[in-house]
Amino acid sequence: MLQFYNSLTRKKEEFKPINENEVGLYCCGPTVYNYAHIGNFRPYVFADVLRRAIEYRGLKTKFVMNITDVDDKTIRDSRQKYPELEPMEALKKFTGEFEQFFWEDSKKLNIKKPDIITRATEYIAEMQELIKKIMNAGYGYEKDGSFYLSVAKFADDHKYGNLVDIDLKQMKSGTRALSDEYEKEDVQDFVLWKAAKDNEPAWDFNYNEKNYHGRPGWHIECSAMSHKCLGAPFDIHTGGIDLKFPHHENEITQSVAGYGSEKMANFFLHNEHVLVDGQRMGKRFKNFYIIRDREEKKINPLAYSYLVLTVHYRSKLNFTWESLNAASSALSSLYSAVVSFPDGGVINAEHKKEFSEAIGDDLDTPRAIAIIWKLVKDGKIPAADKKATLLDFDRVLGLDLAKAKAVEIPEEIKKLAQAREQMRKEKKWDEADELRQKIEAQGFEIQDSADGQKIIKNNLKS
Ligand code: AMP
Ligand code: ZN
């Protein structure tokens, strides 16, 4: 059984696909105005594991991810970087560069590419179509060339507050500061289409024989693009927890208001944040690390994926160098184990059952990782079967175990380790410690176990 915690119902529910032949998944993608930071990648690692877990059950998926390539930040920064270009050209060039970096980093994390990538600027017609539907249904209004959705009108007929509990009355009496950007009538209303400011990239929007030159609001993008690619309702919508409100709530509102379907998606799954020193990692907070940074320091980006898997997606992940260090050591050990096992085995049914249960239980990856190590250490299973089983599990975990290479341990390090072993036999603990420090200084680590000492590469000291 596959069950997921559904943010719509606030409980774990069995997942039953709408169409067995193709499970529709939509993940809110990045806004491409900067490098995606390590925190940003958690939703993508998580959505990738979700997709793989569904495929592991023998189901096909259709995975859609958007690229937000037009918004206040992309416009602002593209004009700053390419002042000599036309605004639209600058935007395309600028966002294209960061999108490219995003796919490169995703690849390093072994994240499967979406089946469909929807760039907001390529779906303007669909967004305009949806805005017209919302207007015709009586839930929208136009003011000073911009279009808004009236939450109060919508809430007369439908539920507003599917993902979070909302007290509309309280919102109304809330501060006007929330609505400072554009002239909406009510504080909780949100923009569907923004009138163009001077010298901004903008599109024509013909409505009731008038042209409203402008650009789409952020929320409308995902409603229009998910509908175009997956219809409504589709199976699962994912994103970081901060997107629950207002972004996902407003996506639902627009889809229901415009397309008239009862629901946008059957399941909404949200991952918790990555924290650094107790604070959310974010571009605004100046505490963000990026994947390519780590690579310069010779860190395998998949150590980050491993770290993400060791924490359940609905729990906060407090990022520390020690935890990344530990994840890297564990991953190196796992690679060494896989390399040491011969080919030609069969998948162990008992371990597979346990693994499937863990993954099926709301993607319990920490339990799945524990099962991996139990398997590696299981004395009753032939080594070749261990390898076959691990490679099977990796179809979900995506740690690229099939490409695992034995880490070459230089002769010099081996000699130091032998000398250390000798010192330990002679109970010369100080000397043994000194040798360990020498080994560590060169990026290797010694692990002592009942089978003797093991040298593993540790290139994370930073
Ligand atoms: P953005 O590029 O800002 O639109 O964000 C892309 C994704 O990253 C969204 O799903 C966010 O919810 C998510 N996100 C942003 N910061 C963090 C964080 N510190 N930890 C986990 N996810 C995050
Ligand atoms: Zn979205």
Residue by residue, DSSP assigns 150-216 as -HHHHHHHS-S-SSS---HHHHHTS-GGGG-SS--SSTT-EEEEEEPPTT---B--EETTEE--EEE
The whole-angstrom separation of Cα 144 and Cα 156 is: 25
Pick from 107, 114, 115, 101: which is nearest to 403 by CA? 107
Report the separation in Å between the CA atom of 243 and the middle of ligand 2, taken as the mean of its atom positions: 7
Identity of residue 183: E
Report the separation in Å between the CA atom of 279 and the middle of ligand 1, taken as the mean of its atom positions: 13
Report the separation in Å between the CA atom of 102 and the middle of ligand 1, taken as the mean of its atom positions: 13
Judge contact between 372 and 389, C-beta under 8 A. Answer: no
Ligand nearest to the CA of 283: 1
Per-residue pLDDT, 174: 46
Report the separation in Å between the CA atom of 265 and the middle of ligand 2, taken as the mean of its atom positions: 12
With a CB cutoff of 8 Å and minimum separation 6, the contacts of 310 are 327, 365, 366, 369
The whole-angstrom separation of Cα 223 and Cα 234 is: 11
Identity of residue 179: S
Ligand 1 atom index nearest CA of 240: 12
Neighbours of 443 (CB within 10 A): 13
Per-residue pLDDT, 291: 80
Neighbours of 455 (CB within 10 A): 18
Per-residue pLDDT, 178: 39
- Return the best residue to mutate from 44, 242, 270 for the ligand 1 pocket (most ligand atoms within 8 A of CB): 242
Ligand nearest to the CA of 43: 1
pLDDT averages per 10-residue partition of the chain, 462 residues: 97 97 97 93 98 97 98 96 97 98 96 98 98 98 96 96 86 46 74 93 97 96 98 98 96 98 97 89 76 68 96 96 88 93 97 98 98 97 98 98 81 92 93 91 79 67 36
Report the separation in Å between the CA atom of 206 and the middle of ligand 1, taken as the mean of its atom positions: 34
> What is the CATH T-level fold of the domain 276-403, as seen in this structure?
Four Helix Bundle (Hemerythrin (Met), subunit A) (1.20.120)
Judge contact between 354 and 361, C-beta under 8 A. Answer: no
Task: Determine the angle formed by the axes of helices 38-56 and 349-360, rounding to 10 degrees.
Answer: 130
Pick from 3, 23, 24: which is nearest to 13 by CA? 3
Per-residue pLDDT, 247: 96
Per-residue pLDDT, 180: 40
Judge contact between 273 and 318, C-beta under 8 A. Answer: no
Domain ranges of the chain: 17-271, 276-403, 411-457
The CATH homologous superfamily for domain 17-271 is HUPs (3.40.50.620)
- Burial grade of 409 (CB within 10 A; 0-12, 13-18, 19 or more): middle
Per-residue pLDDT, 298: 61
Cβ < 6 A, ligand 1 pocket: 28, 30-31, 39-40, 42-43, 239-240, 242-243, 273-274, 280-282
Per-residue pLDDT, 177: 39
How many residues are there in the chain? 462
Longest CA pairwise span in the chain (Å): 92
The whole-angstrom separation of Cα 71 and Cα 280 is: 22
The whole-angstrom separation of Cα 281 and Cα 272 is: 11
Distances (CA, A) of 172 to 80, 154, 185, 426: 37, 15, 10, 77
Reported pTM:
0.89
Per-residue pLDDT, 406: 65
